[in-house]
Amino acid sequence: MAEKNFSMKRRERKEREAAEMNKDVKELKKEEEKGADGAEASGDGDGAAEQNGDFQVEPMELPPFEIIAGDRINPFTFKFQFKNVEYSSGRNKTFLCYLVDDGNASDGLQRGYLEDEHAGVHAEEAFFTQCMSHYDPALKYTVTWYVSSSPCAACAAKIAEVLTARKNFRLSIFAARLFEWEEAEIQDGLKALHAAGCKLRVMKPLDFSYTWDTFVENEDEALNLWEDCKENYEYYHEKLADILQ
Ligand SMILES: [Zn+2]
């Protein structure tokens, strides 16, 4: 009986999430349009040559969008991409916030975020090529990721490989949502990560607030956690525990 009530409650929540999705996507699009205007206005320094009139440069075709690296995430994007809903369509990117401590006090903590489009290289792989390019086997790395969703099977395998090869590299991954956790190959990937020594966790309400404070253009405002944040955390936490046990 209790079980039945629980699943009904979950269904209601899913329906509500679906309704909120439309609203979220509309608002996000508006914000992204605003952001794109801003980026155009700032230019990149080639403007002077184009305006000079002596020669006309054909507008260059931009390479396909792959990875964005940055310092702080737009607050709207964060609230949309990190929301720990079950109904996650429209959220077809991975956002990866990272902290790297290489044990060298003078270096300080390296922090930032990566964003992928799930079309080319995934953010997890980009982390190793873009943020670990000065990797030094003599140092001890303590790395923490806060990701909008847990890794796909291919990324999980790659990360597990790195962790097995680099004993000086400790990784903790906090995920807002579990990506396609019902799939057997995804579960195998998470198990392989766990076996390779990766600390895998689902983000708690407090982790969302921490990530907001650390990686978002928050204008010194605290994060208002969404309804069901705690219940959704508990749901995913239980699923992850079942997979890893
Ligand atoms: Zn991936």
CATH number for the domain including 223? 3.40.140.10
Decide if 225 is inside a domain. Answer: yes
Average pLDDT over residues 80-96: 85
Residues spanned by the domain of 145: 56-244
Q: What is the 152 CA–ligand 1 centroid distance (Å)?
A: 4
pLDDT digits (tens, 9 = 90+) for 183-231: 999 999 999 999 999 999 999 999 999 999 999 999 999 999 999 999 9
| Distance from chain centroid for Cα 210 | 14
pLDDT digits (tens, 9 = 90+) for 150-163: 999 999 999 999 99
Decide if 110 is inside a domain. Answer: yes
How many domains are contained in the chain?
1
92 DSSP β-pair partners:
none
**β-pairing verdict for 141-149 and 169-177:** parallel
Decide if 20 is inside a domain. Answer: no
Residues with CB in 5 Å of ion ligand 1: 122, 152, 155
Decide if 32 is inside a domain. Answer: no
Decide if 50 is inside a domain. Answer: no
Q: What is the H or E stretch that residue 3 is in?
A: helix 2-42
Decide if 158 is inside a domain. Answer: yes
C-alpha torsion sign, points 237, 28, 131, 106: negative
Q: What is the 154 CA–ligand 1 centroid distance (Å)?
A: 6
Enumerate the active-site residues.
Answer: 124
Q: What is the 220 CA–ligand 1 centroid distance (Å)?
A: 32
Q: What is the 125 CA–ligand 1 centroid distance (Å)?
A: 7
| Distance from chain centroid for Cα 7 | 28
Decide if 9 is inside a domain. Answer: no
Average pLDDT over residues 4-22: 65
Decide if 22 is inside a domain. Answer: no
Cα–Cα distance between 244 and 21 in angstroms, integer? 30
